[in-house]
Structure 1
């Protein structure tokens, strides 16, 4: 039986990570933290994808009979529409930047040098293709959710008891299908991030061409990729716990200086000026939130670096032609061989 590369590369990925991040260089960590902020937390790997949809509910019978709802004027509608458009614009912009940063991050790991502007200029078109692919996946999942929600909406209308029963039956029938689709889309999105992006860099191709290059390896070595999924699942959990614990400790430590500033704001609010006190408290709170976000990004750097090296090392072992980190592989394997010879 062939060895499982997912198990073999656990230590190699750690060696590659420490070889890149040590000795600690402040500018390298800051740049990687900026990139890590956009590409997401440690859960953003091949075994997980999160699509979050908010939903509202009601009692099905309308509001109380004596409640009079004021009509919404044109100004309120314009303000609401502007807020929605602005929020959607931010989401789209963040998604595009995050897609390009995927290539910046992988290229930084390959070169062991972080040049954000240079790598951005070289790979923003590939990032745009990745963003379009992710949008298509999102649209597919969102459409599936709408289809699944139709029976619930129909049942909530109470059009008839028979109709309500058919709606519930239709919902229960589609629920397992949607679960399977969600898992499949999650795997596709995760594999695209950790495997197809390095292939796109290697072969200077698009997302679909990268998948056509990856798929033969998945089809011929399914056990290797299954082992990677299982191992990366637990690594993600461990990485998430590590990030959460370290972030919590550092966030509590930051409360010492910021607590003094909050106290000053409270005193200004109570004894000097209420507007000035509120403004000071809001400002301190915003700065504290930004500081915590910076801490999260910095803490994510070694976790994200390890997970990406791990995926690329596994991919290179499965198919040597797709090895995106040959120099790092030779270094860590050479160090291991030298250590065994000395022993």
Structure 2
């Protein structure tokens, strides 16, 4: 049995080269805009585990029954400070949701561009905005479901600790309780993470083209795709393994190129920032103007670096998406969106 995920790698490389050449600034610029939102719209967030330690002066000061008890009271915050913190958090969340929503629309813009071999951002955004909103809603539900499962399990195990935090106190659970919690939560987190990654990845790479081709919603697209996925499970299982390896290779290559670009792009900003910094150190005075200048330089550098990342990741994103579309069309010709761009199937 031919394994499409293995056979289509070279075809995806050739199609990527054909799609991106000859190099045209306008075409690459539009693709960079699309890729920028793809990078920002589907990025996952991870939880950070924080620990509070209290190192004793001698080993004998550690209680035999586990970690020492620790409690503390949070400093009282003024109403204005609380309002500012809540406002900043709300703006960050709102900004992230807006970028994620635009990123969902750009998934359809990206697939349509690869299908038609023409990149028209505004035209495709207007055409597929509705489908993008549906995809965004699906991703929100998927994220909330993940949060509910993992958050619910965490609350069940450490509910009293969170209750203490709400009361203004910090408590450290015993060592045995932390071990039991880790034994239960780590496997659950891995299992849920794998399932969610597969669901989100298959939706983006295989269901979105079906939604685009057959004018369907997300759930209808999944119902259409599911029989093919079950019938061709070996093909898609192979795809997951091969695509995972390809992502590792391309991410390493992309990171190296981006690292070189980051150093090169930092030079003009450092030429301005270093004298300002040394000037503050030498004078022993930190002025508001110098701080504003340094912050503005940092923000501008990060913006330029993000734009560079979008340009660098254009061929990487094009390769991976065309690779997925080739496999999808091979497993079911009714789902082929590449049309005349598709090379003949290898035998």
TM-score range, shorter chain: 0.7 to 0.9
In the TM superposition, what is the alpha-carbon distance from 1:173 to its structure 2 partner? 4.5
Of residues 52, 73, 78, the one that matches 2:46 is 52
1:286-309 CA-partner distances (Å, limit 9, x unpaired):
211111111111000000000000
Q: Does 1:258 align with 2:304?
A: no
Q: Does 1:220 align with 2:231?
A: yes
Q: Residue 286 of structure 1 corresponds to which residue in structure 2?
A: 299
1:182-238 CA-partner distances (Å, limit 9, x unpaired):
211110110001111111100011001111111111111111001111110011001
* Gap runs ≥5 in structure 2: 54-68, 165-173
Q: Does 1:187 align with 2:201?
A: no
Q: CA RMSD in A?
A: 2.9
**Does the 8 Å CA contact 2:139/2:200 hold for their aligned counterparts?**
yes
Q: 1:158 to 1:326 in 2, by over 3 A?
A: closer
Paired with 2:104 and 2:204, the residues of 1 have a C-alpha distance of: 9
**Does the 8 Å CA contact 1:316/1:322 hold for their aligned counterparts?**
yes
Paired with 2:178 and 2:286, the residues of 1 have a C-alpha distance of: 58
In the TM superposition, what is the alpha-carbon distance from 1:123 to its structure 2 partner? 0.4
Paired with 2:25 and 2:149, the residues of 1 have a C-alpha distance of: 45
Q: Residue 25 of structure 1 corresponds to which residue in structure 2?
A: 24
**Does the 8 Å CA contact 1:148/1:171 hold for their aligned counterparts?**
no
> Aligned with 2:2: secondary structure?
coil
Q: Residue 312 of structure 1 corresponds to which residue in structure 2?
A: 325
Instruction: Give the number of aligned pairs.
Output: 320
Q: Does 1:16 align with 2:15?
A: yes
In the TM superposition, what is the alpha-carbon distance from 1:273 to its structure 2 partner? 8.4
In the TM superposition, what is the alpha-carbon distance from 1:328 to its structure 2 partner? 1.2
Runs of 4+ in 1 over 6 A off after TM superposition: 163-168
Q: 1:55 to 1:170 in 2, by over 3 A?
A: closer
Q: 1:306 to 1:72 in 2, by over 3 A?
A: same
What TM-score results when the alignment is normalised by the length of structure 1? 0.84
* Gap runs ≥5 in structure 1: 338-343
Q: How does 1:10-159 map to 2 (within 5 A)?
A: 10-40=9-39, 50-58=44-52, 61-63=70-72, 70-154=75-159, 156=161
> Aligned with 2:76: secondary structure?
coil
**Does the 8 Å CA contact 1:155/1:167 hold for their aligned counterparts?**
no
**Does the 8 Å CA contact 2:155/2:162 hold for their aligned counterparts?**
no
